[in-house]
């Protein structure tokens, strides 16, 4: 969903998957963070940390961006 929105708006984005270690697991949970910017250099600097990846590959799973005319959650549900 965010990949579609960033594409439609001409923005740049990076994604980070945070997965706790076994020692952290009782106190921490998996999470997914997305950073969005108008400035490509800002996102590139963030991606210097290997934990951050370009959001572009997620666009292969692209669902249309939600609008007032389209807001279906069915394409993003996982069964």
What three-state secondary structure class fits 31? strand
Q: What is the pLDDT of residues 56-69, one digit of tens each?
A: 766 556 667 777 77
User: Nearest-CA neighbor of 7 among 71, 46, 63, 75?
Assistant: 63
Q: What distance in Å separates the CA atoms of residue 15 and residue 6, rounded to the nearest whole number?
A: 12
Q: What is the domain range of residue 55? A: 2-60
pLDDT at 13: 92
Give 10-48 pLDDT, tens digit per residue: 899 999 988 887 887 778 888 889 999 999 999 999 999
Q: Which two tokens stand for residue 8?
A: 């439609």
Residue 21 resides in a domain? yes
Tally of domains in the chain? 1
Q: Establish if 20 belongs to a structural domain.
A: yes
pLDDT for res 61:
60
Does 25 reside within a domain?
yes
């Amino acid at each position: 969903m965010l990949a579609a929105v960033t594409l439609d708006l001409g923005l740049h984005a990076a994604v980070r998957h945070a997965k706790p270690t076994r020692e952290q697991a009782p106190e921490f949970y998996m999470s997914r963070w997305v950073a969005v910017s108008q400035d490509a250099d800002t996102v590139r600097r963030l991606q210097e940390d290997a934990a951050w990846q370009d959001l572009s590959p997620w666009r292969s799973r692209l669902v249309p961006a939600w609008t007032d005319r389209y807001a279906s959650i069915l394409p993003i549900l996982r069964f």
